């Protein structure tokens, strides 16, 4: 049979399955929208909370709470899939119900649905539920990162880090990005932050040595005043029926504040002095800002009961209509600059997580409170404000990391990527140079065992880079839902291996992965070594039964892909035919039926060498089909191979050499045993005979059927 016409039962089965799959792809799209109606949302936010009317422009439900006889917004509730449908590792986006408070903090996060393979019948959903609970109390303003397990207990910032889940790194990063991306979309529309300064880091320029006085700062507008006169206060409270003014003339100041942004060296040094300004900057955290406020009037917004280090009740910094968290720095209060009026003062710290942009206009507001009534007095408040702005040339604006992204795991796993890259680079020349290490029957087996140990221990159990049919399921689901393949980027080691495997498929076929880079395959090879000391004799599967069993993996592959295309959960169930999740990803820590299945396959391997790989592996089936596109029939053969010599066929434990001596590349696992034999004058029977006759023969690759 010619190379162009070599179709067998497997390819015919798969061709029919793919035609059915294409029809289903066009006919059965998967749902990508949120699933909760009002009743569903009310179940998550029961009384005394009230679910308001859904927004007409954004899929957001206001959650209301009664305060002082009126309803105020307690949170905005939304489903992440409506606003950030980021495909998970199962190919479809997770759906999370998020409740975001008006100040940008998370009231609640719950999992509505997901298709993350590691949690489906693996770790179970409980670790995922516990993972999302960590967001409660955190702020959407902050670039929240997924750390290693127990990262916060090991010293990571609890305001910007959530503990990751071992064995679920890629899935947790996708979920983290889904939560924050959806929350930022709501924050921009409803809360007024996250738009103007998104993705920018703004810092004051380094000290230029300019020396300014208080008068010069005032003249430039870098030192501002907020003044409320008795007449102004009285007018503001007139509608409330209470006296708002203090004692003294109408034009006398009641509230008189002087304030300035201190991070700019020329301002901070002028108001605090060089020594104290330097001490202040040493207390700053990354991205922190400081605002000086001095009170000179008879009514001090700080209040007589103000506690150092607290957030002032009557002073507020706002930007873009949103209050910014500003807390007193609790530092020494003496030694203000000459020319600055005396009075109580505070330095308010605004942390980098608040999203404050000092190069954009902002406002300082002071609240005046009065009481009405005697028995049960009612507090009446009015706010007065003054704007503040500095020239843009005083600041450096540059791109900053705006929340989580798929680049995070690439940076975090750089060492693993480097080690795997070096290992792959070392494997290629070994397999390509057939007269090098491969031809050495003493050293090559040692190299192969060492490489398989690396594959099992490092690629599999440490780097968690076991390739799986789950990725193909994800690709099919992404094709039917989001047309977005970024979920692949969240698992860098696996993506690196996929790229290498696809490249070698074109050159050599399936065997490079199945024979060298599959951790479960490596585990089977090590278990097979126990057969000899246990005196277990391999079972010879009859040829007709062997050929029939080899088709099972193609039927299983077709079933998985069709189920994935139709959105059926059967795809996840059928994917459990792979024991990879149990044996490699979860280290056999799983429900007993899955452990029994994985161990059973390893026991089967003692009797039928790599029986799972040969008969059941759907990933191997997909690689075998794609491997038919390879460019080379690269394994050398001789005219004598198959007739009369059958040595390679007898030694091939995979059954990948036909009786006529040709290589069955879709079933070849690239163990290289036959290559070693054919280049070894002491093993290759035709060469041994030729040597006895004083002749020399050269092996040549022979086209496969």
Tokens 């065997």, residue?
Answer: 511
Question: Do 520 and 535 contact (CB within 8 A), yes or no?
Answer: no
Please name the residues in contact with 606: beta carbons below 8 A apart, sequence gap of 6 or more.
527, 528, 530, 531, 534, 536
Q: Domain limits of the chain?
A: 1-30+413-632, 31-191, 201-399, 633-705
Which of 613, 579, 617 lies closest to 122 in space, CA to CA?
A: 579
Q: How far apart are CA 382 and CA 366, in angstroms?
A: 8
Contact 361, 387 (CB under 8 A): yes
pLDDT digits (tens, 9 = 90+) for 603-619: 999 999 999 999 999 99
Distance in angstroms (rounded) separating the CA atoms of residues 656 and 635: 12
Taking each helix axis from N to C terminus, what angle separates 274-283 and 265-272, rounded to the nearest 10 degrees? 120
CA 237/CA 559 separation, integer angstroms:
74
Taking residue 401's Cβ as centre, other Cβ atoms within 10 Å add up to 12
Does pTM top 0.75 for this prediction? no
Q: What is the pLDDT of residue 316?
A: 85
Nearest alpha-carbon partner for 160 in 138, 182, 193, 130: 138
> pLDDT value at position 404?
46
Residues of the chain with pLDDT under 50: 1-11, 13-31, 195-196, 198-199, 400-404, 705
Distance CA 81, CA 112 (A): 10
Left, alpha or beta for 103 (phi > 0: left; psi -120 to 50: alpha)?
A: alpha
pLDDT the model gives residue 513 = 93
Q: pLDDT tens digits, residue range 580-589?
A: 988 988 888 7
**Cα separations (Å) of 491 from 182, 300, 335, 337?**
22, 56, 56, 56
Confidence (pLDDT) at 143: 67
Q: How far is CA 553 from CA 153, 556, 629, 700, in A?
A: 45, 5, 19, 32
pLDDT of residue 304: 65
User: Is the torsion defined by CA of 481, 482, 483, 484 positive or negative?
Assistant: negative
């Amino acid at each position: 049979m010619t190379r162009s016409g070599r179709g067998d039962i497997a390819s015919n089965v798969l061709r029919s399955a793919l035609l059915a799959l294409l029809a289903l792809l066009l006919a059965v799209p998967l749902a990508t929208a949120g699933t909760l109606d009002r009743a569903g949302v009310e179940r998550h936010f029961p009384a005394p909370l009230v679910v308001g009317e859904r927004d007409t422009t954004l899929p957001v439900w206001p959650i209301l709470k009664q305060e002082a006889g009126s309803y105020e917004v307690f949170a905005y509730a939304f489903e992440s899939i409506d606003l950030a449908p980021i495909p998970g590792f199962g190919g479809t986006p997770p759906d999370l119900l998020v409740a975001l408070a008006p100040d940008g903090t998370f009231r609640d996060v719950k999992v509505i649905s997901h298709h993350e393979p590691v949690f489906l019948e693996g770790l179970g959903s409980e670790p995922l539920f516990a993972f999302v609970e960590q967001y409660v109390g955190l702020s959407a303003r902050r670039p929240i990162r997924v750390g290693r397990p127990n990262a916060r207990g090991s010293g990571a910032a609890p305001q910007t880090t959530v503990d990751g889940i071992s064995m679920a790194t890629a899935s947790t990063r996708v979920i983290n990005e889904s939560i924050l991306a959806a929350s930022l979309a709501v924050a921009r529309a409803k809360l007024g932050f996250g738009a103007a300064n998104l993705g920018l880091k703004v810092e004051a320029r380094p000290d230029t040595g300019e020396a300014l006085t208080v008068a010069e700062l005032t003249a430039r507008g870098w030192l501002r005043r907020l003044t409320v006169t008795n007449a102004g206060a009285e007018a503001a409270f007139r509608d409330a029926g209470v006296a708002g003014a203090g004692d003294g003339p109408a034009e006398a100041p009641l509230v008189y504040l002087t304030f300035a942004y201190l991070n700019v060296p020329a301002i901070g040094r002028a108001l605090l002095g060089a020594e104290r300004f330097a001490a202040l900057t040493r207390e700053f955290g990354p991205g922190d800002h400081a605002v000086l406020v001095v009170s000179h009037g008879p009514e001090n917004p700080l209040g007589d009961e103000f506690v150092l280090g607290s957030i002032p009740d009557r002073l507020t910094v706002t930007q873009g209509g949103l209050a910014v968290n500003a807390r007193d720095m609790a530092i020494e209060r003496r030694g203000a600059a000459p020319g600055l009026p005396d009075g109580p003062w505070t330095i308010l710290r605004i942390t980098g997580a608040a999203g404050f942009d000092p190069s954009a206009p902002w406002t300082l507001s002071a609240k005046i409170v009065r009481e009405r009534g005697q028995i049960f007095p009612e507090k009446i408040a009015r706010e007065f404000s003054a704007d503040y702005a500095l020239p843009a040339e005083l600041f450096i604006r540059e791109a900053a990391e705006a929340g989580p992204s798929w680049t995070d795991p690439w940076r975090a796993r750089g060492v693993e990527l480097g080690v795997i890259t070096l290992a792959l680079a070392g494997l290629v020349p070994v397999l390509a140079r057939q007269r090098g290490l491969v031809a050495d029957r003493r050293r090559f087996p040692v190299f192969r065992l060492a490489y398989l140990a690396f594959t099992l221990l490092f690629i599999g159990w440490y780097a968690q880079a076991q390739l799986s049919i789950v990725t193909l399921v994800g690709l099919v689901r992404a094709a039917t839902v989001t047309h977005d393949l970024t979920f692949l980027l969240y698992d860098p080691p696996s993506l690196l291996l996929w790229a290498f495997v696809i490249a070698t498929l074109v050159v050599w076929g399936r065997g490079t992965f199945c024979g060298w880079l599959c951790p479960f395959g490596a585990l089977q090879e090590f278990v097979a070594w126990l057969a000899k000391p246990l005196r277990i004799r391999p079972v010879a599967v009859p040829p007709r039964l062997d050929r029939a069993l080899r088709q099972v993996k193609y039927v299983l592959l077709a079933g998985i892909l069709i189920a994935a295309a139709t959105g059926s959960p059967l795809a996840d169930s059928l994917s459990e035919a792979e024991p990879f999740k149990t044996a490699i990803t979860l280290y056999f820590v799983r429900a007993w039926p899955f452990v029994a299945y994985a161990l059973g396959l390893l026991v089967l391997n003692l009797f039928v060498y790599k029986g799972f790989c040969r008969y059941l592996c759907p990933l191997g089936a997909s690689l075998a089909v794609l491997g038919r596109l390879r460019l080379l029939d690269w394994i050398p053969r001789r005219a004598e191979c198959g007739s009369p010599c059958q040595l390679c066929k007898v030694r091939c434990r995979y059954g990948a050499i036909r009786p006529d001596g040709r290589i069955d590349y879709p079933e070849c696992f690239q163990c290289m045993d036959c290559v070693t034999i054919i280049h070894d004058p002491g093993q290759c029977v035709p060469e041994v005979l030729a040597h006895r006759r004083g002749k020399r023969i050269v092996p040549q690759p022979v086209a496969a059927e």
